Amino acid sequence: MLYPTVKNTLTGRIAFPALDALREGYDVYPVVDAIAGTSVEAHRAGLERRAVLVGLSALVLASDVIGGIAPGIGVMLAARAVLGIGVGGFWVFGAGAAISLVSEQARGTAVAVVSSGIFIATVASLPAASLIGTLTTWRAAFAVAAVFAVIAVAAQLAAVPRLGPGGRVRPRSLLTVVTLPVSRVGLVAAGAIFFANFTAYTYIGPLLHTRAGLGASAITLVLLGFGLAGAAGNFTAGVTVRRHLRATLMGSGLLIAVSALLLAAVTGARPLTIALVAVWGLGFGAVPVAAQSWMARAMPANVEGGLALFVSALQGSLAAGSAAGGVIYDAKGPGGALAMAAAVAAAGSLTLLSRAGAGINSRPAGSVDLARERGRETPAPSPGAIDRAGNSAQRTR
C-alpha cells in the first residue's frame, strides 16, 4: 500500500476524529465515487455517450497527474475526489455503453466483462503500485497510472464508435432497485459483502505485518496472490451466474466470512495466513460479476438506471466499511476488524436465503438478454432502445 509512504511525504494535516488524516481522507474517493455514478447517469441525456466515456477517462488521467505532483495532503484529497468522479461515472456508464455495442444475446456478457475489467484493474493496481513505490517513489506510481490512463483514452477514441446521445433517465427509475423485493435483497446482500470486505481489506497491509510478521515486499506478493485469486473467482463467476446466480453471490460472501474469521484466529502461521488471504480474494473476485448480474436479471427493463444506484450504493458501502474498519482497527486491532468483516459478510450472504432471494431463480437464466425481457415487460420502447436502434441503423449505413 502506498498510503503510509504518501502520508509521511506530504505536508499538512486535516483533523478527523479517531483516524489519522490520510487514512480517513482516502475515503473521499469512494464517497465521491458513490455520488458520481448516479449523478452522471441522471444527467447524461442529450450527451454523446462516447464523449462522456472519454471525458470520464480524462478525469482519471487528470487525477493521476494531480496526485503525482501533489505538494500536500489537501491537493492529494482533491485528486482523489476527481478520481472518484471519473471511476464512479465510468463504472455505471461503461456498462450501459457496452450493452449498446453488442448483440442482444451478448448483453449479459458485456456487463460481466466491464465488471471484470474494473475488478481486475483494481486488484492488480494495489500490488503494482506498492511494488513501484518500494522500488522508486510513490510519485512514480502515479506517473505509471497516468500513462495507462492515456492509453485508455486513446483506445476509446480509436476503437469505440460514436454511440449517439443517451436517453433521459428519470430520478424515479433510479429508485427501482429499492422498490422491487428481488433487487432490494440483492442490494442488501452485495452492500453488506462490500462493507465487510473493505472493513478489513483497506488495512490488510498493517494487518499482515502485525499478525504474520510480513515485510513490505512479502505483503506486495500476498496482495498479488489476492488479485490473481480474485481474477480466477471473477472469471469463474462469469460462468456460474448463468445457472447458479444466488449460490454464486451467497457463496462468495461466505468465503469472505470464513476466511476473515479464520484470519482473526490465526497469528504467526504465515503459510496458512497467505492461503486464507487467497481464499478471501477468490470470494471477493466473484462479487462484482454476481452482484451486477443479479441486478441485470432482477430489473431487465431498467438495467442502466438500476445499475447506477446499485453501483453508487456499493461505493457507499465501500466508504462506510473503510471508515468503520479504521475505527475498529484503532480500538481493537486487526482481530476486531476481521471479526466484524466475518460477521457482516455472513449476515449479508444469508439474507439471500429469504423468499425474495429465492425469487431470482424464478427468472429465466436468459434474462440477461435484456432487450428480450424488456420487450416482455414494457410494450412501449424505452429511450435506450430507441437509441440503440438508431445506432444500429447508423452502423448499417
pLDDT digits (tens, 9 = 90+) for 257-271: 999 999 988 877 888
Structure-model confidence comparison of residues 185 and 83, the more confident one: 185
Written as nine digits, the cell of 344 is 457482516
Compute the average pLDDT of residues 138-165: 90
For residue 17, pLDDT over 60 is answered with: no
| From 119-123, 140-144, 270-274, 362-366, the region with the lowest mean pLDDT | 362-366
Compute, in degrees rounded to 10, the torsion defined by CA atoms 198, 199, 201, 204: 160
Which of 47-56, 325-334, 343-352 tops mean pLDDT? Answer: 343-352
Assign 200 a pLDDT band (cuts: 50, 70, 90). Answer: confident
- Domain of 379: which CATH number? 1.20.1250.20
Compute the average pLDDT of residues 214-218: 81
Phi, psi values for residue 48, rounded to 5°? -65, 125
284 and 350 Cβ atoms separated by less than 8 Å: no
Range of the domain at 275: 3-396
Q: What is the pTM of this model?
A: 0.73
What is residue 302's predicted lDDT score, i.e. its pLDDT? 63
Structure-model confidence comparison of residues 185 and 26, the more confident one: 185
What is residue 278's predicted lDDT score, i.e. its pLDDT? 93
Length of the chain: 397
For residue 283, pLDDT over 50 is answered with: yes
What is residue 242's predicted lDDT score, i.e. its pLDDT? 80
What is residue 87's predicted lDDT score, i.e. its pLDDT? 79
Which of 13-17, 61-65, 334-338 tops mean pLDDT? Answer: 61-65
For residue 360, pLDDT over 70 is answered with: yes
| From 258-267, 271-280, 379-388, the region with the lowest mean pLDDT | 379-388
328 and 260 Cβ atoms separated by less than 8 Å: no
What is residue 392's predicted lDDT score, i.e. its pLDDT? 42
Count up the domains in the chain and report the number: 1
What is residue 289's predicted lDDT score, i.e. its pLDDT? 83
Angle 113-116-117 from CA coordinates, rounded to 5°? 85
The residues, ordered by sequence, that sit 6+ positions from 375 with a Cβ below 8 Å of its Cβ are: none
DSSP 3-state assignment of 277?
Answer: helix
For residue 190, pLDDT over 50 is answered with: yes
DSSP 3-state assignment of 194?
Answer: helix
Compute the average pLDDT of residues 213-219: 81
Compute the average pLDDT of residues 195-213: 83
